[in-house]
Amino acid sequence: MSILSGKNVLLGVTAGIAAYKAAFLVRLFVKKGAQVKVVMTPSAKEFVTPLTLSTLSKNEVFSSFTNEEDDNAQWNNHVELGLWADLFVIAPATANTLSKMAHGTSDNLLLATYLSAKCPVYYAPAMDLDMYKHPSTTATFEKLDSFRNIQIPAEEGELASGLSGKGRMAEPEHIISFIENHLLQQMPLQGKKMLVTAGPTYEAIDPVRFIGNHSSGKMGYAVAEAAAKLGSEVFLVSGPVNISLENSRVKIIPVTSAKDMYEAAHTYFPTCDIAVLSAAVADYRPKQVASEKIKKNDSSLTLELEKTQDILKSLGEIKKHQFLVGFALETQNELENAKSKLKKKNLDLIVLNSLKDKGAGFKADTNKVTLINKDNKVQRFAVKPKTEVANDILQYIIENIDA
């Protein structure tokens, strides 16, 4: 999943020959999972039709403040458009429009929207060679950059005049890549690697039966997805769950037993900066696993169990630079038990929840947690969706990982 997924992208199209590439750009944004709206300068419609862009974006295209064909239509509110956008991308950006942006000229809907936008503004220059090199264009770039607009550099190639040189608008694929990389560089977990464990483990009794628990994996998957959105590369070691997660920054390592999870966690932990172990790992497993299905012949069945390896404790014993987070699901003496676990397993943070709390625990889409750090500082949160709980946990990590 791209970092652009779920973003509201406002695409500004100005009157240059490169405007035909706006159709490809809209399509790429949509493929990345973004919601796209298009605002055009009136003259841009001579190069690419609003119908094409509205069909590809599945949204109305805006080019004027009012609908001249409908006297009763509402005006197109440039302030609302600017506030709707998470990103404003002006491509192609002609010398004329760029100059107006630099000097605050507002003589069309696109420019009025630009002046109202609160989001990051990217612009992809498109003009002929001599125009691109002109001192006034250089001054325009400098002024726009001083406004914290982000320039997507023009490329070299054949131009509309027949000349060849710099001034050609970056190709749509390059624009998308530039924006994705730029956004990732702003992310607080960019460059960090994270290990997350999630879900239950199944400990075999025979080829058919197992010992397991009710963990759905929702909390761990929420942490993994939120971490990826914040720029981290995530290794998600997952027990058997019914959750799908498609994100190019999350590598899912499926496992079944506690032994499998132990081995996978120890494989990825040494190269990670952060580890969040939210899986509900079985504490015991059958000492002997039957090779054939156990028949229902007797009125009772006795199983001898043995302890599984303690994954969290073992990682706490070998951690060096890693920020290690564990989970504690308790039913009594919650704070005391969690603090004891925090110390015994050499954790930096423990996330406590109780089965007594309504809205917390297995299978639910919500959770109620208490964060306890290694100084025994306690921070309590209300019941929230697990996606928000994940963000609370990660925010704490971000604020304390380099402390």
> Mind telling me the catalytic residues?
213
Cβ of 118: how many Cβ atoms within 10 Å? 11
Q: What does DSSP assign to residue 233? A: E
Tokens of 66: 């009012």
Cα 210 versus chain centre, distance:
35
Chain position carrying tokens 């464990």: 197
Q: Over the range 302-318, which residues count as b (16 or more CB within 10 Å of their CB) and which as e?
A: eeeeeebebbbeebbee
Tokens 């630009």 locate to 114
3-state SS assignment for residue 338: helix
Residue 121: exposure state from Cβ atoms within 10 A (0-12, 13-18, ≥19):
buried
Closest Cα partner for 113 from 88, 92, 95, 94?
88
Instruction: State the virtual CA torsion across 167, 172, 178, 183 in degrees, nearest 10.
Output: 130
CB atoms within 10 A of CB 294: 14
The residue among 346, 193, 178, 345 whose CA lies nearest residue 269 is 193
| Interior/surface letters 164-183, b for 16+ CB within 10 angstroms, e for the rest | ebbbbbbbbeebbebbeeeb
Rounded Cα distance between 193 and 323, Å, is 11
Summarize the chain as % helix, strand, coil (round to 5): 35, 25, 40
CA 114 – CA 132 distance, rounded (Å): 22
Identify whether the C-beta of residue 349 lies closer than 8 Å to the C-beta of residue 338.
no
Say how many C-beta atoms besides its own lie within 10 A of residue 138's C-beta: 11
